[in-house]
Structure 1
């Protein structure tokens, strides 16, 4: 699968990773070959991995603060789901955040939650094969896995 194919499939989400839009994407992908599903999963993981950077992960949650007005940091899960939301927003948004961190910040809002996109490759594989897929991809998309993105964590 090419990046162009990947982003074309992501475009079917219409900018948001809702349960319904991700179900449609999984169904579309599930009608393709297992090779395409694996290719999608690889690019899916790589897109998230590339966003796993300190400059994004240390942004506060956009619409939450405590009683004293202090902002809340993103948790590891919040940051993962925020990265999914950025990917779901499409190629232009995804590419744009690398040049302007302020374009990433709105996606930290609790109104954005890209968690449903997490399950698309697994669901597509299950639809295509009737089996569950315990996959590993070249890139790990879990928070803090991109050591180059978190230079102060390198040992």
Structure 2
């Protein structure tokens, strides 16, 4: 893999801390100007960063700005948890590293206002811009919620 963690976080820094449509479009265009192995390497690093965040201590946090009818905490959905993890990655290396030491630092990213979904599409769109071919690739790490069995010990088979 050619993409180092340093290179990955430098590219993520172009998002200015948020994964909006516009910031992710800028990142997509930047990435599409790089060699295809860099695009694939970015996808691999991104998937691994999300996979490492796929842990019960983060997924069990309630949505920051929602409550149930009775005022009780509102749980994150699988998609919501994925988008929260994307928002943490988009916030940059210091935030990403920091949540592992203080789970409370993850909480603001569960907000419906901090959705990082757009970041999911960056590698695929960059590849398609660069090659005019459809992205047909699986990453080594599955970034879908609850796929990190070490992070969810109660879900192990």
TM-score category of the 2 structures, normalised to the smaller one = over 0.9
Normalised to the residue count of structure 1, the TM-score between the two structures is 0.99
Partner of 2:60: 58
Partner of 1:120: 122
Unaligned runs of 5+ in 1: none
Q: How many residues align?
A: 155
1:88 aligns with 2:100: no
Give per-residue Cα distances to partners, 1:41-78, cap 9 Å, x unaligned: 00000000000000000100011012321111000000
Normalised to the residue count of structure 2, the TM-score between the two structures is 0.98
Aligned mates of 2:134, 2:95 — CA distance in 1: 32
Aligned mates of 1:89, 1:83 — CA distance in 2: 10
Partner of 1:7: 9
Unaligned runs of 5+ in 2: none
Give the root-mean-square deviation of aligned CA atoms: 0.5
Structure 1 stretches of at least 4 aligned residues deviating more than 6 Å after TM superposition: none
Write the mapping of 1:8-23 to structure 2, written as runs, cut at 5 A: 8-23=10-25
